[in-house]
Amino acid sequence: MPHSPHPNQVRAAEPHSEAAIAWSSVANLATSYRNGSLTPTRVAEVLLDRIERLNPSLNAFAAVLPDLVLEHADRAGKELAAGIDRGPLHGVPIGVKDLMGVEGWPTSFGSTVAPVLAASEDAALVARLKEAGAVIIGKTALLEYAYGAVHPDVGPTRNPWNLEQTAGGSSGGSAAALAAGLMPLALGTDTGGSIRIPAAYCGVVGLKPTFGRLPVDGIFPLSWSLDAVGPMARTLPDLRTFFEVLEPTSKDIRASIEGRRFGIPQDYITQTDVAPELAALFRNVTAALRAAGATVREMSFQSMAHANQVLVDILRPEATVIHDQNIRSIGSSKGAGAQYSGATFAQLRSGYAVPATVYIAARQQQDRLKQQFAELMKDFDALLMPSVGFVAPAEDPGVDDPAGAAEMHFSGPFNVLGVPALSMPLGLIGGMPVGLQLVTAHGEDLAAVELAIAVDACAEPRAQQARPAGY
């Protein structure tokens, strides 16, 4: 079983060996492509071989089409050789959550409800990536329709740090593949933490952008009012490069720590159980920020205390309406409900029981919370808190389970608020990663990434984290 070594045990690989390619940064790939020491085809071949060997134990990919991957990698290499340079992601392999359309690729949604058909067109962000010269390496696995449950015919995605623990959801396939060195970048979606939770569990980074900042066209929805699509990566510099391509209007920002104002919502943190070791790691980071000249102070988050209930009151009926036709047709056939997992089917049916008055009140409360949060953030550049209060459990908890509420405690409010929220590695507890969440004001997405980079540098030497053994 893979386990985590001490960071000092990770040794540099020989240049352009399998290990060097698998763990190469986006910037290093770009340099190697342009100086001719590597080609996109060579990188794709190495990663496809790793996926073939390692995915059976991880279940991180729902679909991989080697011939198509190599065709696109070869095209990217020929373009670069001919002087056609599409930018920093040209020839870079990227995984796409299997909720998004990729032309010619099957989409299963982590379920057996719908026929698995090849998409006729690309989702908007996938089209943007292809225009940037990126190579789609595979469709990554997810919880069924991103709604918090594993379909038994699909199976769970396992965590590379410990195969007996989950990679998290719903973007667990993307996080696990990144952590296992199967690609440098991935796209995920996030309705209540589905990028940030698996990023924390797997020791990678992920950004839930401002609501509506990145287009969701061509992505099967879970909740129209909460869904976001965003970048995931192994490192923060790679995440910055990725986001700047996805959202090319982003301003150039380089943040420093001195003089920055960080808020710690201590009253909200203490409302749920946080592992003592995680709390200690968190205190270490805040102490390092103070030592570097930042202002770090506790602030009240009490006005947001019921945000996750607002999320659930919005999510349930919206998800049910989206699946209504399938629910009704499945419900009319004996035993056909098994096409959804039992947990997903129960969650979807529960949406019918939410009164319209409750849903409308929740939407109104969402608007009020957004206004209150905007006022609160006038005093801070960013908020800091755990991404999740514990390490990855053995199985993904259900949305209705108390453990599910605890898992979503720190992530859910920021879907309701629609603001940028980023998870970055905080350290290891018993060989398993935990995450630090950084939140900025509405529209300050790139500032969140830049502040995270500055926080990470300030917190050294903790930031240089080992990767899972055996990968």
Q: What are phi and psi of 434, to 5 degrees?
A: -135, 160
CA angle 132, 70, 78 (to 5 degrees): 55
DSSP H helices, 61-107, are 66-81
Distance between CA atoms of residues 231 and 216, nearest Å: 13
Could you tell me if 164 and 378 are in contact, meaning their C-beta atoms sit under 8 angstroms apart? no
Distance between CA atoms of residues 366 and 115, nearest Å: 36
Sign, CA dihedral 84-178-319-410, equals negative
Catalytic annotation present for 170? yes
Catalytic annotation present for 194? yes
Q: Which residue has the tokens 């939410």?
A: 354
Could you tell me if 139 and 235 are in contact, meaning their C-beta atoms sit under 8 angstroms apart? no
> Out of 4, 24, 170, 225, which one is annotated catalytic?
170
Catalytic annotation present for 171? no
The DSSP call for residue 396 is P
> Out of 32, 97, 108, 423, which one is annotated catalytic?
97
> Out of 171, 194, 223, 411, which one is annotated catalytic?
194
Terminal CA-CA length for the chain: 11
Cβ burial, residue 91 (10 Å; 0-12/13-18/19+) = buried
Tell me the residue type at 28.
Answer: N
Could you tell me if 150 and 156 are in contact, meaning their C-beta atoms sit under 8 angstroms apart? yes
DSSP H helices, 292-427, are 307-331, 342-350, 356-376, 402-407, 412-417
Structure tokens at 376: 């609160």
Positions marked active-site: 97, 170, 194
